[in-house]
Amino acid sequence: MTHTAPGFADPVLPAALDEAAHRCLVAGFRGTTTVPESLKRLVDRGLGGVILFTRNVRDADQVRRLTGTLRALRPDLLIAIDNEGGGIGHLVAAGAPEVPGSWALGAADDPALTAACADALAGHLLSLGITASYAPVADVQSRPENPIVRTRAFGADPELVARHLRAWIAATEARGVASCAKHFPGHGGTVTDSHHELAVDPRPYDRLDLAPFRAAVEAGVPMLMSAHVVFPALDPDRPATLSPRILSELLRGELGFDGVLVSDALEMKAIADRYGEAAGARLALAAGADQVIVAVPDLDVTLACRDAVLDALRSGELAPERVTEAAERVRRLALRYAAPYRPGEAAAWDAEAGLTAARRAVRGAGPLPRPVPGAHVVDLFPPPHPALHWGGEDLLTQWRLLDPTATGTAVAGEPEDAGTVVEEVLRAAEGRPLVVAVCDAGLHPWQGRLRNALLAARSDALLVSTGLPEPGGALCAHGRGRVNLRAVAEVLTGRTS
């Protein structure tokens, strides 16, 4: 492999093609106040975008200074972040608006409310100098065993998902922020998380969940993100991110999408373990992607991906026309959203929209239960996903803000000695109402065992679900973002402040 001097254009390729290749990259990095020198050199050569994570966020003023520094390096640099709302968000420390996840918005099923939540998120991004949001999730939660989409989806009905996508995209666009529907052509029909291994959706073509993506394209979404999922009905050999049949023929040809198609992160094991990030970058661009994301802060990985693309251009393995076409789409996107940047136009947003939506999403099998003051609250939930930010929210914290007399236990992950936990809970809950909350107990059997053991001893316990609805008449929050937990606590304490 031939490496070029880090700060200079490739000596073999035309300067315009070298810049085009760099426009096709989105890089993660480490830092809150300074920009690494290796990232500056990438920006000098035309880097198309950066992706921010919790590691880049300390507070709102710091984020503004950081995005200002990045924009001073290159005004048309796209500055992006995952910003779905709910329990997944990197801007908690920067004062992000509190909105529920998409499943709760689908449960409330009020597109105007979804638009208000999307507007709040986009307005906040604009105020921080962030110009692109890798949201909304267009996946349909099609299989109960799916481990990664779940409450990130608006629902299990493609038409409902499409309805809320349109509202989200329109509201984000009205703010001048680029939205990105993901993960094409859908991740909700798998039983595998592509962060950990290659996922497969075995359904025939006519049962795939393409309707929301068609709706997103028709709504003018400026970006789509591909899924690291194999669809044998479309291409039995390659995941969508690397498949010309899926990206070029289906998405470009049949759905008519002409915006920027960005890959999901290449370091996810579905790509990294089977192909390697560098080969993944080359194959994704050849297949029809316009940008590839390397989200890890190790810029050597980004440089390896860049070098693989440049080598493929030199050898003729990657057509210059394909990269030039991709870079032109990125350039148009940047001119529309990134430059010129006008932060002064970020008007106020509805700070109460998220809590309103979360309250409307709280549902039970029948009438809502009576308040239970002074309860003992047991919150069972899986540990945070390593690739998705989780702010550490727990039900007990929100509950005690409303009822300081409440006690409780938060169990984040399977305990070593479940029997001891059950004994301690029953002892602490003696003489008190008992509330048992689970989050996707069907995926995490340890939660079901703990719940059942507690119910065997306390048949009067109230059940709460903070994930997908559970059988057995549990009160459903439809998500475990902070406002979801707050809304449940309001119902069961009978208090709002």
pLDDT at residue 367 in the model = 85
Residues 186/140, Cβ–Cβ less than 8 Å? yes
pLDDT 10s per residue in the chain (497 long)? 444 555 667 778 999 999 999 999 999 999 999 999 999 999 999 999 999 999 999 999 999 999 999 999 999 999 999 999 987 789 999 999 999 999 999 999 999 999 999 999 999 999 999 999 999 999 999 999 999 999 999 999 999 999 999 999 999 999 999 999 999 999 999 999 989 999 999 999 999 999 999 999 999 999 999 999 999 999 999 999 999 999 999 999 999 999 999 999 999 999 999 999 999 999 999 999 999 999 999 999 999 999 999 999 999 999 999 999 999 999 999 999 998 877 655 679 999 999 999 999 999 878 889 999 999 999 999 988 776 666 678 999 999 999 999 999 999 999 999 999 999 999 999 999 999 999 999 999 999 999 999 999 999 999 999 999 988 889 999 999 999 999 999 999 999 98
Active-site residue list = 195, 264
C-beta separation of 318 from 280 below 8 A:
no
Give the per-residue SS3 of the chain: CCCCCCCCCCCCCCHHHHHHHHHCEEECCCCCCCCCHHHHHHHHCCCCEEEECHHHCCCHHHHHHHHHHHHHHCCCCEEEECCCECCECCCHHHCCCCCCCHHHHHHHCCHHHHHHHHHHHHHHHHHHCCCEECCCECCCCCCCCCCCCHHHCCCCCHHHHHHHHHHHHHHHHHCCCECEEEEECCCCCCCCCCCCCCEECCCCHHHCCCHHHHHHHHCCCCEEEECCEEECCCEEEEEHHHCHHHHHHHHHHHCCCCCEEECCCCCCHHHHCCCCHHHHHHHHHHHCCCEEEECCCCHHHHHHHHHHHHHHHHHCCCCHHHHHHHHHHHHHHHHHHCCCCCHHHCCCCCCCHHHHHHHHHCECCCCCCCCCCCCEEEEEECCCCCCCCCCCCCHHHHHHHHCCCCEEEEEECCCCCHHHHHHHHHHHCCCCCEEEEECCCCCCHHHHHHHHHHHHHCCCCEEEECCCCCCCCCEECCCCCHHHHHHHHHHHHCCCC
How many other β-carbons are positioned within 10 Å of the β-carbon of residue 351?
A: 12
pLDDT at 2: 45
Domain residue ranges of the chain, discontinuous segments joined by +: 15-345, 362-493
- The Cα–Cα gap between 339 and 221 comes to 19
CATH 3.20.20.300 at 15-345, yes or no: yes
| Residue 168, pLDDT score | 98
Question: Among 24, 113, 43, 50, which Cα is nearest to 360's?
Answer: 113
- Residue 40's Cβ-side half-sphere holds a number of Cα atoms within 13 Å equal to 9
CA distances from 465 to 186, 239, 273, 438 (A): 25, 33, 35, 5
CATH fold label, 362-493: Rossmann fold (3.40.50)
- Long-range contacts: 365-368, Cβ < 8 Å, 24+? 365/473, 365/474, 366/473, 368/475, 368/491
pLDDT computed for residue 385 by the predictor: 77
The residue behind tokens 């921080």 is: 128
Q: What is residue 350's predicted lDDT score, i.e. its pLDDT?
A: 96
pTM (predicted TM-score): 0.95
Output the pLDDT for position 1: 43
Which tokens in the block code for residue 97?
């608006």
